Structure 1
Amino acid sequence: EPIPWRAEACRRAGTVHLGGPIEHVAASERAAWEGRDPTRPFTLVGQATLFDPTRAPAGQHTAWAYCHVPHGSTADFTELVENRIERFAPGFRDVVLARHTLNTAQLEAYNPNLIGGDINGGAATLAQLFTRPVARLVPYSTPDPRVYICSASTPPTGGVHGMCGYYAAKAVLKSNKGDQP
């Protein structure tokens, strides 16, 4: 069954951000950025089966969750993340049939592009915002003029905004002066 959120709006949302008051969110993000484990992690939860029921057997649901942690941390945040969800969805643990967890080292081992286990391909520092994945005028181009990249490793970094692909497409069109590739 789906996550038993207290808030009706959360029961219908594809992604839920669990942070509490802004002071808690800021403290959690600051702790991770400063290399400390957050005690009340700002947690993101995705509920894809609400919109695509083919992602689970009939009548069941899948969900994913993560929180921001210090770069390269190998700590297991499963308990903290589940506690955060349980706070806003009492009975959550009762509906969990199975789980699969990865820490940052395991994420990087699974996909070397996730530097330090960062889902955005490395920290989005000010310098990185303009030099990802390499310092060049058109960061979406590669040495092969037929290949362009658009991922969390390109500006403006990851998210669900689609801007990496938008800017890569603009770069392709500009390089081809509107010609079909």
Structure 2
Amino acid sequence: MIIPIIIVVVVVFLLVGLYNSLISRRNQVDLTFGNMDVMLKRRYDMIPNLVEVVKQYMTFEGDTLKRITELRSRLTDQSDMNSPARMKVENELTGLLSGLHVAVENYPELKSNERFAQLQSTWTDVEDQIASSRRSYNAAVVSYNNAVEMFPTNVMASWMRYLPMEVLAIAEPERENVSAKELFKN
């Protein structure tokens, strides 16, 4: 009589452990995404200052600056913070901003501007933090996906209807060398 009770108790503890493990990993994914979101918000907040300083010196890049401002507005108004559409816009914004920083090389007076130099330094720090946040997020997603796909937690995950998540991949334009000439042609 005592052996069946022990077996039931062990099974219950095992199920609770599996359940808690899945919840913990999913929460870790949410936490790391939230941390990345904070860094992205800092970047969005810096864009108007960057555009304002750069606009004074760069006369030919008006279309690019306008597009950067449009993308920033779309991202700050975005209600679904975890959508693939948002990541597509993020990747486009990142590509434009990278090209903008390359184009700055053609404007020595802008590079010597103290406000721009400070802004560029802060920008570099924020971009490094975003990259670190992306790595943390991807590590959390891989851990979660392993739990969702590996036995025995995959059984519990299927009962809970947990599905694998996608890692954040680098957009194809980010993998290529940036051509400032192509980005800013009139």
TM-score normalised by structure 2 residue count: 0.27
Larger Rg: 2
TM-score normalised by structure 1 residue count: 0.27
The structure where helix makes up a greater share of residues is 2
Q: Which has the higher contact order (CA 8 A, sep 6+)?
A: 2
The structure where strand makes up a greater share of residues is 1
